[in-house]
Amino acid sequence: MELNRRTVIAGAAAAGLAATALGAGSAQADTGRRPVREPFGTLADGTKVHRWSLENGGTRLKVLSYGGIVQSLEIPDRHGRHADVVAGFGDIADYEAKSPYFGALIGRYGNRIGKGRFTLDGTTHQLSVNDGVNHLHGGAKGFDKHVWHVEPFTEGSDVGLHLHYTSVDGEMGYPGTLRAKVTYTLTRHGDWRIDYEATTDRATIVNLTSHVYWNLAGEGSGSIEDHELTIAAARFTPTDAGLIPTGELAGVAGTPFDFRRGKPVGRDLRAGHEQQVLAKGYDHNWVLDKGVTARPEHVATLRDPRSGRTLRIATDQPGLQFYSGNFLDGTLTGTGGRTYRQGDALCLETQHFPDSPNHPHFPSTVLRPGRTYRTSTIHTFGA
């Protein structure tokens, strides 16, 4: 029987052992702690970067002002033992010089736009091209490579951070000045919630997401191929050789892309499907059955059988990009001092579809003046 965090806390509280059930030494871990700021280093241009640490409901989160990066996220296993379950670096130099978007906020547009071009209201815009001939994750200097203004908060039993960044008109080729606000919240149950907001003074496109690399057995612990993944999606968006969607919404039935009933990530990873050959594994957008919804709904579950840790993802977005860590090649050393090899972490990015501006039948990513872009994703942990 799978127990979520709320069940564990409730049962332990009845026995007067809530802190023990969460692996905490005191009730402070359960009631939340105001975020604490500390220096984390200096960028090459002399800009100072800070790290914020916050804790609630047994979840411990560390966030950098640079890129809104989740540098570590610790949750307990079935025995109450905490481990960091996200890939990352121990110093700012590595993040600045060679990070594959570890833990970062992505914008203005998460994922790829073919040839870096799109047409809006009759005007064609050329974006920064940084992935072959294509535009990826906001361009050469996307939101992940800027220092955000961070404001800590406590609200009732929740603790969190408000992160702000203003992207000026023309940055990376995008039209309009976009004012973005992203809120990270740790709830009293230990859930990690992300709320995204943005406004613009000119019609533009926007698709914000978080690029956390997960390994529920613990950062640097090895392959995620035994992790069990469930995705509530009967279709996905096939791509060309540049990983740009062809426009087709293909059925997953009878293919390695069928995760509807859940299966180990590695079971069909090397099945030889032509889409896997192009991506060197999984690096695709799943078309969530629920579509765009008014509030977050559960769409995916990831479970590590070794530790018992589980991650449940709820979102209001129509898509989920599952990336199986195909391009980790052993050249990056993580926070724990171990190198990351292919498949040592995976990403589950809630989003609108890649290249949506060039496919009118995909859900729209256009934002106009007077409207506010809002979306939320909730990560619920258990063991």
Active site residues: 211, 349
Which residue blocks in the chain are alpha helix, DSSP H? Answer: 5-14, 18-21, 28-31, 92-98, 274-279
- Alpha-carbon distance 112 to 138, whole Å? 8
Q: Which residues of 193-219 are buried (b: 16+ CB within 10 A; e: fewer)?
A: bbbbbbbbeeebbbbbbbbbbbbbbbb
A 10 A CB-CB count for 183 gives: 17
CB half-sphere exposure, 102, CA atoms < 13 A: 31
CA distances from 201 to 178, 198, 248, 372 (A): 7, 11, 33, 11
Lookup: tokens for 40: 């984390």
Question: DSSP string spanning 79-116?
Answer: TS-EEE-B---SSHHHHHHH-SSTTEEE-SB-SEEGGG
Q: Which residues of 288-326 are buried (b: 16+ CB within 10 A; e: fewer)?
A: beeeeeeebbebbbbbbeebbbbbbbbbbbbbbbbbbbb
Q: Whats the size of the chain, residue-wise?
A: 383
- Alpha-carbon distance 351 to 369, whole Å? 21
- Alpha-carbon distance 48 to 250, whole Å? 46
